[in-house]
Chain A
């Protein structure tokens, strides 16, 4: 039988490094807010024949848009985000770009929003994530109400949830820096779906732990938890695989509009599966045994 519980310090170390790296990236570089959160105008420009991103950036700078965020969406499509301009001005801009770059340009997606409203949407998004987390906590406390200290189960599940959210947000902070990837309402949508998915996995494992505790399969809680993880491992991996198949197909072939939305889901499935096995259940053991020193990577291994 694979010993997951015995390796918990390694899991905490890996997760700790990922989270700290994410928080540092977030603190230093932040996130690139998209039109939903920062307002302004974003549009998808379709060039035929395709042009180079560097050429487009140069021309945009010449026209006074040197701060534009430009994302290459493939097949001659570029998603640009600039300060607010009207649709008439946008058409004019597209025409100028086409003339300078000697290519046919079409605006296939024009989106404009007021900056101050964007800030409100951002606030709502954060509230939504917090509400979701609190609702999950209450739900798990309720679902495990017959267990001793149900609050503990809920807290451990939410720790895994926060873990997943921080890692994904950290990755997108880096992506924003490296590839100009922006955060939009769809990002939050993906994040909340991930929150649901992560807790879903955790609940399946917790459910088995609950069953095994009541069957008294071992006096040692750590052994019970480990058996439960191993028994549900087939399900955890297979469900993640089937979900990954369809998400991966969407990521590779689904087109530019939802590319990064699908990436959130993709990361979420992988990280959510990992955290349900290696974080939430392990926290349960640590809490039960009061082995708080296990959280510190330099502490002596106790397993």
Chain B
């Protein structure tokens, strides 16, 4: 028995050590972006939800089309180097929604551009000063920029007789006129391809800017690209336009390009929220620990240790899974700290009952745990039920904050059952076994006799 407890203690210490190591990379702050994944309300950024107008497509191909839309948007976002973007297709009551989260982009107009609903790939030429400016031509008296809008959707990659990849493409009528004007004045010069304000780059980081060798009218080819770059470009050009209109339905009428939901949080507000949550958590936890130690004495102190293990392991789970922390999620975490103590309180109250009943310390500890367990199990299941319902609610529409709370609270309560039972029990058993502290006052029971009298 004793030996088993020592092994358990070693296991707990290893777990604690690992968790601590995982959450605190030495050169990073705990709440640094690399440390924990933060939601938009903490890190700042934009959140957009669009509905797709699938009225023009063949029934049965919806899932395929939406996957395509998702892919296009993902590629565009990745091309801009945004870290941890989330693009999801949600099917909700027969409507297809596309949910886009862009951390770090606090300018909603830029976010919308990034998604590429308004912009397409644009060709640029270098002016005398070496700056890239849009390559334009005149069609029917109108000055137009050459963009991917004028590609036919049949761009492809072929391998030439020397084994080199070639990207072959075809312009539509307007594109052919523009291309002819532009390429004839740019022979021997480069044309770059821009997405928003960023040039497209190859896998080696170089700007993709092919040199014009000849005048291109309706058909052309680009040489000298790596196979990966050529394939990527093929996708981008073919997906120059998202295959179905994105926008929203208002009373049966489709409004293109207007998101159903949009939310943008400034990074400074997020930073302020983090700062305030940490301060609130610190104050709350100190009060909690003081209360536990003053009221339950030695077991209270053990509960504090087990709460420490709980907090560190929980943060480690958040980081390793990873769970995206939102502001309500942080509230859920802090709330779960308060609730995590509950299992300990249940056990200690039982222990006190047993001690008052005249049992020995060791027997009281065991009985306390055994008899408190059904209540701990049954009562926590109700919190799980609430979390599951919340998770469903959070998934039905744009309320991404709801899910964060449900998830953190769920994980927190589940873990608290483990730490209360394993950590608190093991440490208490070892203290019992060592016979170091046998004074009942240390367990919050004044003495046998008075205890018996109150019964």
Q: A186-B401, A245-B338, A254-B331 are in contact. Are A196 and B386 (CB under 8 A)?
A: yes
Q: Output the least CB separation between B219 and chain A (Å).
A: 41
- Chain A residues with CB below 8 A from B417, complex form: none
**Measured between alpha carbons, how far is A111 from B352 in the docked complex, in Å?**
52
Q: Judge whether B80 is part of the interface by a CB distance below 8 angstroms.
A: no
Within 8 A of A (CB), among B239-277: 248, 250-251, 259-266, 268-269, 272-273, 276-277
Q: B328 and A189: CB pair below 8 A?
A: yes
Q: A204-B375, A243-B335, A250-B331 are in contact. Are A196 and B284 (CB under 8 A)?
A: no
- Chain A residues with CB below 8 A from B436, complex form: none
Q: B378 and A207: CB pair below 8 A?
A: yes
Could you say which of A4-12, A21-29, A231-239, A293-301 contacts chain B?
A: A231-239
Interface flags for B304-337 (1: CB within 8 Å of A; 0: not) read: 0000000000000000000000011001101101
Could you say which of B160-168, B201-209, B390-398 contacts chain A?
A: B390-398
Q: A246 and B338: CB pair below 8 A?
A: yes
Q: Output the least CB separation between B380 and chain A (Å).
A: 7
Q: A136 and B261: CB pair below 8 A?
A: no
Q: Judge whether B349 is part of the interface by a CB distance below 8 angstroms.
A: yes
- Chain B residues with CB below 8 A from A242, complex form: 288, 291-292, 338, 341-342, 345
Closest to A84 in B: B258
Q: A248 and B382: CB pair below 8 A?
A: no
Q: B345 and A238: CB pair below 8 A?
A: yes
Q: A87 and B389: CB pair below 8 A?
A: no
Q: Judge whether B387 is part of the interface by a CB distance below 8 angstroms.
A: yes
Q: A139 and B266: CB pair below 8 A?
A: no
Interface flags for A93-112 (1: CB within 8 Å of B; 0: not) read: 00000000000001111111
- Chain B residues with CB below 8 A from A195, complex form: 386
Interface flags for B281-298 (1: CB within 8 Å of A; 0: not) read: 101110110011001000
Q: A36 and B399: CB pair below 8 A?
A: yes
Q: A185 and B283: CB pair below 8 A?
A: no
- Chain A residues with CB below 8 A from B108, complex form: 87, 110
**B401: contacting residue among A132, A185, A231, A246, CB under 8 A:** A185
Q: A113-B261, A249-B283, A249-B284 are in contact. Are A44 and B383 (CB under 8 A)?
A: no
Q: Judge whether A208 is part of the interface by a CB distance below 8 angstroms.
A: yes
Within 8 A of A (CB), among B368-417: 374-375, 378-387, 389-390, 392-394, 396-399, 401-402, 405-406, 409
**A186: contacting residue among B109, B328, B346, CB under 8 A:** B328
Could you say which of A52-60, A117-125, A217-225 contacts chain B?
A: A117-125
Q: B380 and A108: CB pair below 8 A?
A: no
Q: Judge whether A262 is part of the interface by a CB distance below 8 angstroms.
A: yes
Q: A253 and B280: CB pair below 8 A?
A: yes
Q: A203 and B392: CB pair below 8 A?
A: no
Q: Judge whether B41 is part of the interface by a CB distance below 8 angstroms.
A: yes
Q: A201 and B379: CB pair below 8 A?
A: yes
- Chain A residues with CB below 8 A from B334, complex form: 246-247, 249-250
**B328: contacting residue among A36, A107, A232, A261, CB under 8 A:** A261
- The B contact surface, by secondary structure, is helix
Q: A106-B266, A186-B328, A245-B288 are in contact. Are A88 and B109 (CB under 8 A)?
A: yes
Interface flags for A79-96 (1: CB within 8 Å of B; 0: not) read: 000000001100000000
Q: B273 and A255: CB pair below 8 A?
A: yes
**Measured between alpha carbons, how far is A46 from B272 in the docked complex, in Å?**
12
Q: Judge whether A151 is part of the interface by a CB distance below 8 angstroms.
A: no
**Measured between alpha carbons, how far is A125 from B349 in the docked complex, in Å?**
37
**Measured between alpha carbons, how far is A252 from B277 in the docked complex, in Å?**
10
Interface flags for A119-138 (1: CB within 8 Å of B; 0: not) read: 01100110010011001100
Q: Judge whether B156 is part of the interface by a CB distance below 8 angstroms.
A: no
Q: B261 and A117: CB pair below 8 A?
A: yes
- Chain A residues with CB below 8 A from B291, complex form: 238, 241-242, 245
- Chain A residues with CB below 8 A from B331, complex form: 250, 254, 258, 261-262, 265
Range for the number of chain A residues in contact with chain B = 35 or more
**Measured between alpha carbons, how far is A131 from B280 in the docked complex, in Å?**
33
Chain A residues with a Cβ under 8 A of chain B? 36, 44, 46, 87-88, 106-114, 116-117, 120-121, 124-125, 128, 131-132, 135-136, 139, 143, 185-186, 188-189, 192-193, 195-197, 199-201, 203-204, 207-208, 231-232, 234-235, 238-239, 241-250, 252-255, 257-258, 261-262, 265
Q: A203 and B342: CB pair below 8 A?
A: no
Closest to B46 in A: A110
Q: A139 and B335: CB pair below 8 A?
A: no
Q: Judge whether B339 is part of the interface by a CB distance below 8 angstroms.
A: yes
Q: Output the least CB separation between B74 and chain A (Å).
A: 23
Could you name 22 residue pairs across A and B whose Cβ atoms are closer than 8 Å?
A108-B266, A117-B397, A117-B398, A120-B397, A143-B378, A189-B328, A189-B393, A193-B335, A193-B409, A196-B386, A196-B387, A203-B379, A234-B349, A235-B346, A242-B341, A249-B280, A249-B283, A250-B280, A254-B277, A254-B280, A254-B331, A258-B327
- Chain B residues with CB below 8 A from A243, complex form: 335, 338-339, 341-342
Q: Judge whether B279 is part of the interface by a CB distance below 8 angstroms.
A: yes
Q: Judge whether B366 is part of the interface by a CB distance below 8 angstroms.
A: no
Q: A109 and B379: CB pair below 8 A?
A: no
Q: Output the least CB separation between B324 and chain A (Å).
A: 16
Closest to B248 in A: A114
Q: A246-B281, A253-B276 are in contact. Are A207 and B375 (CB under 8 A)?
A: yes
Q: A111 and B349: CB pair below 8 A?
A: no
Of B262, B352, B409, the most chain A CB neighbours within 10 A belong to B262
Of A108, A189, A253, the most chain B CB neighbours within 10 A belong to A189
- Chain B residues with CB below 8 A from A111, complex form: 261-264
**Measured between alpha carbons, how far is A107 from B382 in the docked complex, in Å?**
40
Of B41, B327, B380, the most chain A CB neighbours within 10 A belong to B327
Q: B284 and A255: CB pair below 8 A?
A: no
- Chain B residues with CB below 8 A from A88, complex form: 109
Give 9 closest A-B pairs by Cβ, nearest first.
A196-B386, A249-B284, A246-B284, A243-B338, A108-B269, A255-B276, A185-B399, A199-B382, A108-B266
**Measured between alpha carbons, how far is A111 from B46 in the docked complex, in Å?**
10
Interface flags for B347-359 (1: CB within 8 Å of A; 0: not) read: 0010011000000
Closest to A109 in B: B265
**B375: contacting residue among A125, A197, A208, CB under 8 A:** A208
Q: B288 and A124: CB pair below 8 A?
A: no
**B402: contacting residue among A117, A189, A244, CB under 8 A:** A189
Closest to B334 in A: A246
Q: A249 and B263: CB pair below 8 A?
A: no
Closest to B340 in A: A242
- Chain A residues with CB below 8 A from B288, complex form: 242, 245-246
